[in-house]
Structure 1
């Protein structure tokens, strides 16, 4: 959960896949901002609007922002209508618009047709304006990202110093090029205020909200700021909000190594037919991986693939391992294949796990280009560093911080230390912004928290800490490795989600849901007689819900993978 520049690059690569899912036909810059929700048809069955909000709620003379808001309208009579459910897919910096275009039908299947399913691009992000930008052109941004090739903080003796220097450079660019002054107003507390205003514009006094990953910070912050405005708040993949605001995310690494262990254990269970990196014991697989890692550190492997070319070195190998921990049900199989091939000198499979996410950059030379909206480096740092305390650490202090965090997990090179490093050069802070502690003794309705049994960046310890801040709320667990419940479909989990919104039912403390998936699953059958995938309009019952959950998971994975850490 901590974007060093290698993280920002990988986040940027992953972000490209989500952009391809949203039809490019709708022009947000042609839509006039309004103080009301003036809906216009967009993206087929969706409706869009640009909502004016004050940059500074305490001083409205500062200026305005225009939020890109999208909804999949409820499909019931007026008497049956139950209002909006606001959805944040994570990040920070994730485009709620692009995500909802894909996930909307699945979310409406999950929660019910009585609700508008609503998402938005937070201030400074994507289609919302003014957009945060440190770069003068798209090409300059691409060059910066190309120069930010993944490097582990322990790849060499000067990796930390190098990243620290880059952080200071980007911090200076941010301060100098923030001509619209949006950066200091991108903080999570202002987004919480925007959500309350949005809810009120719908004609409702209390918030209904589903937040994933960074969306858990946003949901908990809202509940702390407006405890009497909570109708339903569901947060999934719960981060420690106090740690977030204090720029010390060590707790988030608590279960990271447990997810890697699930790779070893799952490979043994799957056997050699399904896991290409198989050994008869988990320890043997672990030792085999350690030996391969040392080999690649000494002898990187060049790769030329149909989509890109590069080098599989120590950093890329470690980066790919860490990335796979977010979505093990998707990536553990390809990861095993890639590791086995890499032992034989073939790095193409492993390289493609990250490289295939990024299409080659091309300048748009048309006379009326679509405005660039995947401003991931700017959005991540604008929120993360703008929220946190002012980091004034020296290089020696950062190294001591990193080495201490490394006692928690072997992956803090991408997770904890890098977060502190990334914000060490940040100079744009707003006085009076919301800070820790995050909690409220009595919200108007209990929060519902979901944790997986082994989350690489949002461990159960963080969820329990959040729970302690909101007495009366409830936490339950999904028995699966990976980040958020969307790592694997679970009919049990989806039932508790639905019942919470529909009638306020909370699971019993200690509830654990199983998943309807398996690690290292065999590929689906092909050829004559194969079972085809079903759409949401076909069938009913469990299969239709599983299809909905897959749709949501496919949409949010690129976004949750770009949050602090990846």
Structure 2
């Protein structure tokens, strides 16, 4: 995959220094007021943006299935017609992330990186968010909230916390698969990555362009690589960042995605020790001692959970929450290692409030309107839970694992990482999935494209190790891997002026970096001075909404138990 804490297990794929969830900008903007069209009929929306809904066929092989309407927004180029460079389509990961929200929140910043010659275009993939039909198999928000508890629960517990966790999650997966088939099966088979790739071509053509320009992160790498394989002669510029192992994606066997997760956690201990007591609150005389202290906190959380009450929330802070926080923090070392250290230091003193407030705290669920209200309900928007399963499991081969087979799968995953339960939950979730469209794309990935891809990978990525980037770059001859020497999931979680420069050169001039190019992030993992602490703390505050998104997306996968 990505993270309210137990939506945790996207994200992978939930990237996400630049990514947020929720209604952005003008809260009173209503997508249902836009009539779907076969052309891009732009209307003003949000602040400085334009929106439209594009009609595409649900089934590109048969008009009888009906249509979908893809929600699209753009931050318009302000260049002259002669200097216009076309649209750049974005995908923020997930699967299930809202490209509309992503573009509205960060379109201006992305335009500053790439240049003002481009329209920065966010779209909600079919089945997601503002696009219709929107995947849902719950009859109400209340039913949905009851099925997806907002806090830790035995059915969402880490797989190593309960002897029957896998069996309980398997049972829930069967229920969920049946509900999805019975309540949404009519269109669910068409909510797949290959059809979204076809939609991207249709969007590109609606702009009057022949070839796609695209930047996809995390799950967006699977979408981008799938497009490049299906339409190799339609690649104009294509960047994939935080790259999945595509074979693993289409087989629902993602354990290898955490090959570097423990390495990232070790980097926290090493970095804290190197930073010293003044700059790391969880400091100990050696990195080995820091690791030992952390393991002691995990053991204590399992046997002695702590009560937490804040002005807006409350919880019992135990093993599951702590383990998920650790994984969440690995998504961006420069943003989250310092607040993690502060939270762990207080936790060691018996105070869980600091770490809870920094990483978990969120308002409880509230119904959008009571039965006596005369106001119209807020349009349904956040369906990342349903979208994750629909796309991930709908893409994959049919999984019919039994509980003993899943227990064996988990045992093997634990040999890869101490966080092996994270992606075991993908497998469990898909074991109950019953909707698979015959003839859907399932790989292999690779082709001779009309223009080479720019592939970006981090040296230590906790959920998309650089091996996936290497493998995918080799599958597309002429493509180049740009490496970022960072502990983070995708380059956007470790902002780098060096990477931004190469992105601009690639999109504007078609210039690829030299083979073997290595960039470094702009910010350190831990501050090296008191002066840096202030700026670092401000960066952490700015990143809080991004962490909430990562937790929320990955909790969708955790809801099969566990993002990204």
Is TM (by shorter chain) over 0.5?
yes
SS in 2 for 1:79: helix
C-alpha displacement of 1:362: 3.6
C-alpha displacement of 1:525: 6.7
Check conservation: 1:3, 1:418, Cα contact below 8 A: no
Deviation per CA, 1:219-246, whole angstroms, max 9, x where unpaired? Answer: 0000010011001100111111111001
> Which residue of the other structure, out of 395, 406, 415, is the alignment partner of 1:398?
406
Computed over aligned residues only, the root mean square deviation of the Cα atoms, in angstroms, reads 2.8
SS in 1 for 2:289: helix
The answer for the alignment partner of 1:97 in structure 2 is 100
Residues 257 and 96 (structure 1 numbering): CA distance in 2 closer, same or farther, change over 3 Å? same
In structure 2, the gaps of 5 or more residues are: 558-562
Check conservation: 2:279, 2:529, Cα contact below 8 A: no
Check conservation: 2:4, 2:150, Cα contact below 8 A: no
Check conservation: 1:412, 1:418, Cα contact below 8 A: no
Partners in 2 of 1:533 and 1:75 — Cα distance? 34
> Which residue of the other structure, out of 75, 79, 90, is the alignment partner of 1:76?
79
C-alpha displacement of 1:297: 1.2
The answer for the alignment partner of 2:560 in structure 1 is none
The answer for the alignment partner of 1:435 in structure 2 is 442
Once structures 1 and 2 are overlaid, which stretch shifts more, 147-156 or 310-319?
A: 147-156
Residue 214 of structure 2 corresponds to residue 209 of structure 1: yes
C-alpha displacement of 1:518: 1.0
Check conservation: 1:14, 1:354, Cα contact below 8 A: no
The answer for the alignment partner of 1:541 in structure 2 is none
C-alpha displacement of 1:345: 1.4
Residue 255 of structure 2 corresponds to residue 247 of structure 1: no
C-alpha displacement of 1:250: 2.0
C-alpha displacement of 1:364: 2.4
Check conservation: 1:8, 1:376, Cα contact below 8 A: no
C-alpha displacement of 1:557: 5.8
> Which residue of the other structure, out of 105, 123, 128, is the alignment partner of 2:126?
123
The answer for the alignment partner of 1:380 in structure 2 is 388
Deviation per CA, 1:446-489, whole angstroms, max 9, x where unpaired? Answer: 10010111000110111111112112111011111010111122
Deviation per CA, 1:324-382, whole angstroms, max 9, x where unpaired? Answer: 11122222111111111111211112222343244542432452222111011101001
SS in 1 for 2:148: helix
Check conservation: 2:36, 2:53, Cα contact below 8 A: yes
Aligned counterparts, 1:341-356, within 5 A? 341-356=346-361
The answer for the alignment partner of 2:227 in structure 1 is 222
Partners in 2 of 1:123 and 1:370 — Cα distance? 20
SS in 2 for 1:352: helix
Aligned counterparts, 1:162-177, within 5 A? 162-177=168-183
> Which residue of the other structure, out of 474, 477, 492, is the alignment partner of 2:480?
474
Partners in 2 of 1:119 and 1:211 — Cα distance? 11
Residue 499 of structure 2 corresponds to residue 496 of structure 1: no
The answer for the alignment partner of 1:424 in structure 2 is 431
Check conservation: 1:86, 1:118, Cα contact below 8 A: yes
The answer for the alignment partner of 1:45 in structure 2 is 48
SS in 1 for 2:171: helix
The answer for the alignment partner of 1:161 in structure 2 is 167
Residues 41 and 375 (structure 1 numbering): CA distance in 2 closer, same or farther, change over 3 Å? same
Once structures 1 and 2 are overlaid, which stretch shifts more, 19-28 or 486-495?
A: 19-28
C-alpha displacement of 1:281: 1.3
In structure 1, the gaps of 5 or more residues are: 535-546
The answer for the alignment partner of 2:467 in structure 1 is 461
> Which residue of the other structure, out of 132, 137, 144, is the alignment partner of 2:135?
132
Residues 342 and 560 (structure 1 numbering): CA distance in 2 closer, same or farther, change over 3 Å? closer
Residues 17 and 210 (structure 1 numbering): CA distance in 2 closer, same or farther, change over 3 Å? closer
Residues 463 and 555 (structure 1 numbering): CA distance in 2 closer, same or farther, change over 3 Å? farther
C-alpha displacement of 1:7: 3.8
C-alpha displacement of 1:182: 2.6
SS in 1 for 2:237: strand
Residues 6 and 167 (structure 1 numbering): CA distance in 2 closer, same or farther, change over 3 Å? farther
Residues 207 and 283 (structure 1 numbering): CA distance in 2 closer, same or farther, change over 3 Å? same
Check conservation: 2:265, 2:330, Cα contact below 8 A: yes
The answer for the alignment partner of 1:189 in structure 2 is 194
The answer for the alignment partner of 2:67 in structure 1 is 64
Partners in 2 of 1:307 and 1:350 — Cα distance? 15
The answer for the alignment partner of 1:539 in structure 2 is none
C-alpha displacement of 1:555: 7.8
Partners in 2 of 1:464 and 1:556 — Cα distance? 27
Partners in 1 of 2:460 and 2:15 — Cα distance? 22
Partners in 2 of 1:472 and 1:13 — Cα distance? 28
Residue 40 of structure 2 corresponds to residue 33 of structure 1: no
Check conservation: 1:451, 1:485, Cα contact below 8 A: yes
The answer for the alignment partner of 1:263 in structure 2 is 268
Partners in 1 of 2:536 and 2:463 — Cα distance? 34
Check conservation: 1:246, 1:388, Cα contact below 8 A: yes
**TM-score, normalisation: structure 1:** 0.91
Residues 466 and 560 (structure 1 numbering): CA distance in 2 closer, same or farther, change over 3 Å? farther
Counting matched residue pairs gives 545
C-alpha displacement of 1:20: 5.0
The answer for the alignment partner of 2:328 in structure 1 is 323
Residue 109 of structure 2 corresponds to residue 106 of structure 1: yes
Partners in 2 of 1:321 and 1:533 — Cα distance? 19
